[in-house]
Amino acid sequence: MRFFRAAPRILLSHPSEAEAIADLYRRAWRGCERFLDPRLVEDMQPSSGEVRTWLQGGFELYRVEHGGRVVGSIRCTFPASACVLDRLAVDPEVRGQGLGRLLLEHAVSRARRTASGRIWAQVSPKLSAAVALHRDLGFRTVARHLAAYWDEPLLLLELPL
Ligand SMILES: CC(C)(COP(=O)(O)OP(=O)(O)OC[C@H]1O[C@@H](n2cnc3c(N)ncnc32)[C@H](O)[C@@H]1OP(=O)(O)O)[C@@H](O)C(=O)NCCC(=O)NCCS
């Protein structure tokens, strides 16, 4: 079923939205221990306090809401001369409707408005939807490594700007 009649709006998040965003990450990653290391899955489900710390510490988090709920989010950081995009997640109930693409496109255009020379993202090769989405937007794999702390292989994806 399609929930979105009009194009959903992307909103910049504030510390007051931390609980709703943490709740989205809990829903988005629930059950992923079936195919990913539980430590990785736990790290992808931050507490509301952790999300608040991000928002107070210079990270930008963009979100999409539906029916008063946060149903999608992505995080942008701007270390020297690059943009790092991570924490992309869409509520399982509204996947496949273009929200992930909308959030990633928004974050890419945000990065283009900075002096960043490139965007980096790290994605597990097991997350085929996420990998396909990044590739579709022009990201290329520039490295593969094993994240020892999660015992999981990861792809480093890059999009030159
Ligand atoms: C990755 C994720 C954000 C995609 O969100 P979404 O709203 O379902 O994505 P979209 O509807 O915008 O789909 C965009 C593209 O993703 C890819 N995609 C989506 N679902 C897919 C699936 N089940 N299998 C393969 N590719 C898929 C396709 O390339 C699709 O393009 P298309 O619409 O032209 O076919 C979502 O699956 C998610 O939250 N996954 C769990 C968390 C995660 O993997 N985060 C990324 C870590 S960086």
Which tens digits make up the pLDDT trace of 6-41?
778 999 999 999 999 999 999 999 999 999 999 999
- What is the per-residue burial (b if ≥16 Cβ within 10 Å, else e) of 4-38? eeeebebeebeeebbebbbbbbebbbeebeeebbe
Mutate-to-test residue for ligand 1 from 87, 101, 154, highest number of ligand atoms within 8 A of CB? 101
pTM, full prediction: 0.95
In whole angstroms, give the CA distance from residue 3 to residue 122. Answer: 29
State residue 6's pLDDT score.
72
Does residue 156 carry a pLDDT above 80?
Answer: yes
The two beta strands, 11-12 and 60-66, are antiparallel
Which is the closest atom of ligand 1 to the Cα of 132? 29
Query: What are the tokens at 65?
Result: 């809401």
Percent of the chain with pLDDT over 90: 89
Name the average pLDDT for the chain.
Answer: 95
State residue 95's pLDDT score.
97
State residue 1's pLDDT score.
52
89 CB under 6 A from ligand 1? yes
123 CB under 6 A from ligand 1? yes
Mean pLDDT of 72-91: 95
Give the range among 1-10, 40-49, 127-136 with minimum mean pLDDT. Answer: 1-10
Does residue 100 carry a pLDDT above 60?
Answer: yes
pLDDT band at 80 (very low <50, low <70, confident <90, very high): confident
Residues 6 or more apart in contact with residue 112 via CB below 8 angstroms: 161
14 CB under 6 A from ligand 1? no
Mutate-to-test residue for ligand 1 from 95, 102, 135, 158, highest number of ligand atoms within 8 A of CB? 95
In whole angstroms, give the CA distance from residue 160 to residue 116. Answer: 9
125 CB under 6 A from ligand 1? no
Which is the closest atom of ligand 1 to the Cα of 121? 48
Write down all domains in the chain, each with its CATH number in brackets: 11-116 (3.40.630.30)
End-to-end CA distance of the chain: 36
